[in-house]
Amino acid sequence: MLRRVTRRGVAAAAVVAMTATLVAACGDDSGSGSDGKITLRYSWWGPAERAEIMNKAIARFEQQNPNIKITPNFSDYAPYWQKLATETAGGGAPDVMQMDYTYLSEYANRGVLLDLASQVDKNIQIKELLPGLQDVGVIDGKRYGITVSGNTFALIYDPAAFEKAGVTVPDAWTWKEYQDAAAKVGKAVKDDKMWGATDYTQITGILETWLRQQNKELISADGKLVVSKEDLKAFWEHGQRMRDLGAIVPQSKVAQVAPKSAPGADLVASAVGIDTYLTRYAGETKRTFAIAPMPSDDPNNLGLIFRPGMLLCASSKTKNPDAAAKLINFMINDAEVGKMFGGNRGLPASTIQREAALPVLSPQDQAVLEYENGISDQLKPAPLPPAGVGPVDAAFLRIGEELNYGKTTIDKAVDQFFTEAEQALSAS
């Protein structure tokens, strides 16, 4: 639940998909030709670099499966969901599609996704997936997706900026200690037109992590908003305190550098977020970043889950479920594919691909791997996001941005979020 710019577009796409009642079906060229050759449509999101790697992986698959031809389609994150919403509403979903865990329940509940349970051991091997990711994608006993990669949350920071401020990053620190450190760092790098931190109080996943650190939750498994208004107010007061300290980069500055990230655009010295963003930041700036555990007021409970970075699913309307399952298995378990991608899709969920990728992982990916190994005893399996979470995520981001801009108060923001979140969840 983290993409800062694209989530709003995703939520809109999800709403379109759920409410559309009459959409012209998209052209579907998948199926079997007169020559007996099977054609599968395969859609995913990602940058051009990923598409280049994916095309090589597809060529390898087609070489090993000469009777199957893949028609690829890729786009950036937001356009991907807009197109998928239209395709699925019209009954023309791709045979194999990349899926965000946030939206798995919504697409499964609408009958879009194929139950892959019968394909396990037959055409899909899950025993090689990391233990915390083997059951991801299972809803009410039906397996709707297979995990491609995994990640969790972390603190990513610029060691040089922290050293300049005389701040040492400890093995564990409280939220207040981090806030104070970010403020101190912000003052030290002010001449560089930088701030100490991004505004983590806009990210639903960080709120959920903070709540889990207290053995609480945001949304129950049955889709009810169970966070208290007092807790939400306390969380958003984190952001207000950091703004008062001058630690947080203003939202207007973040908007100016988009689609670049704030760390990658040299606006901040630290960010709390997805651990694999360490690699993204390294590709956007010449500065060096390091990774550390999340702040927590209880060092024995970081509140972290092992999140699926993305999943692969098949359409319930595919004419070739066996071939679709073979493609999914290949993209998740083939060692050479793991080597091709390295950490491009996140650290592989399959031990086969993870081992194959080790020699080609970037220093940043290696650091993330070491970080995850170091906190593995604190990583819990990711709970299934209930239907309706997408619009809740988008509302939280939008309202959090309004707080950063100073357009609303915390009390008003809390009431607004509860109204929108409860409406979204009840409508699902």
Helices (H), 272-362: 277-284, 321-333, 335-341, 351-357
pLDDT interval class at 78 (50, 70, 90): confident
More confident position, 345 or 9 = 345
User: If you compute the radius of gyration of the chain from its CA atoms, what whole number of angstroms results?
Assistant: 22
- Cα separation values, 80 from 14, 21, 63, 116, 401, Å: 11, 20, 27, 23, 24
Q: Which pLDDT score is estimated for 8?
A: 40
| pLDDT value of residue 16 | 39
Q: Which residue has the higher pLDDT, 9 or 187?
A: 187
- Could you give the CA distance from residue 297 to residue 212 in angstroms, rounded to a whole number? 11
Q: Which helix or strand (DSSP H or E) is residue 419 part of?
A: helix 410-426
- Delineate the domains of the chain, giving CATH numbers in brackets: 7-150+309-366 (3.40.190.10), 153-303+388-426 (3.40.190.10)
114 and 336 Cβ atoms separated by less than 8 Å: no
DSSP 95: S
Task: Over range 180-203, report the average pLDDT.
Answer: 95
Residue 156 confidence (pLDDT): 98
Q: Which of 354, 328, 308 shows the shortest CA–CA distance to 122? A: 328
Helix (H, G, I), strand (E, B) or coil at 313: strand
With beta carbons less than 8 A apart as the criterion, state whether 92 and 125 touch. Answer: no
Half-sphere exposure of 81 (CA within 13 A, CB side): 24
Q: Provide CB contacts within 8 A for 270, sequence distance 6+.
A: 155, 156, 157, 158, 161, 162, 182, 185, 196, 197, 198, 263
Q: In this predicted model, what pLDDT tens digit does every residue of 353-369 receive, in sequence order?
A: 999 999 999 999 999 99
Q: Pick from 262, 242, 251: which is nearest to 182 by CA?
A: 242
- 3-state secondary structure at position 156: strand
Q: In what order do the strands lie in the sheet with 153-157?
A: 270-274, 153-157, 290-292
Give tens-digit pLDDT for 106-122: 999 999 999 999 999 99
First CA to last CA distance, the chain: 18
pLDDT at 234 over 50: yes
> What mean pLDDT value characterizes the chain?
91
Tell me how far the alpha carbon of residue 135 is from its chain's centroid: 18
In this model, does residue 14 exceed pLDDT 60?
A: no
pLDDT of residue 35: 65
Average pLDDT over residues 271-299: 95
* pLDDT at position 324 over 50: yes
What confidence score (pLDDT) does residue 19 get? 38
Is residue 368 packed enough to be buried (19+ CB in 10 Å), middle (13-18) or exposed (0-12)?
Answer: buried
Strand, coil or helix: what is 116?
coil
- The C-alpha angle with vertex 314 and arms to 312 and 318, in degrees rounded to 5, equals 160
| Whether pLDDT at 32 is above 90 | no
Q: How far is it, in rounded angstroms, from Cα 243 to Cα 237? A: 10
| pLDDT band at residue 27 under the 50/70/90 scheme | very low
Q: Is the pLDDT of residue 13 over 50?
A: no
Per-residue pLDDT at 261 exceeds 80:
yes
Retrieve residue 174's tokens. 């409280």
Contact present, 307 and 152 (Cβ < 8 Å): yes
Integer Cα distance of 45 and 98 in angstroms = 7
pLDDT of 410 reads: 98
Tell me what the mean pLDDT of segment 50-78 comes to: 96
CA distance 9 to 425: 18
Q: Which of 10-14, 144-148, 373-377 has the highest mean pLDDT?
A: 144-148
> Which amino acid appears at position 286 of this protein?
K
Q: Which tokens is 15 given?
A: 């709403």
- Tell me the pTM: 0.85
Q: What is the pLDDT of residues 142-165, one digit of tens each?
A: 999 999 999 999 999 999 999 999
Confidence category of residue 223, pLDDT binned at 50, 70, 90: very high
Q: Which of 142, 57, 58, 99 is nearest to 357 (CA)?
A: 57
Q: How far apart are CA 135 and CA 106, in angstroms?
A: 18
User: CA dihedral defined by 275, 390, 95, 53, rounded to 10 degrees?
Assistant: -30
Give the Cβ contact number of residue 134 at 10 Å.
16
The rounded distance, in Å, linking the Cα atoms of 52 and 38 is: 23
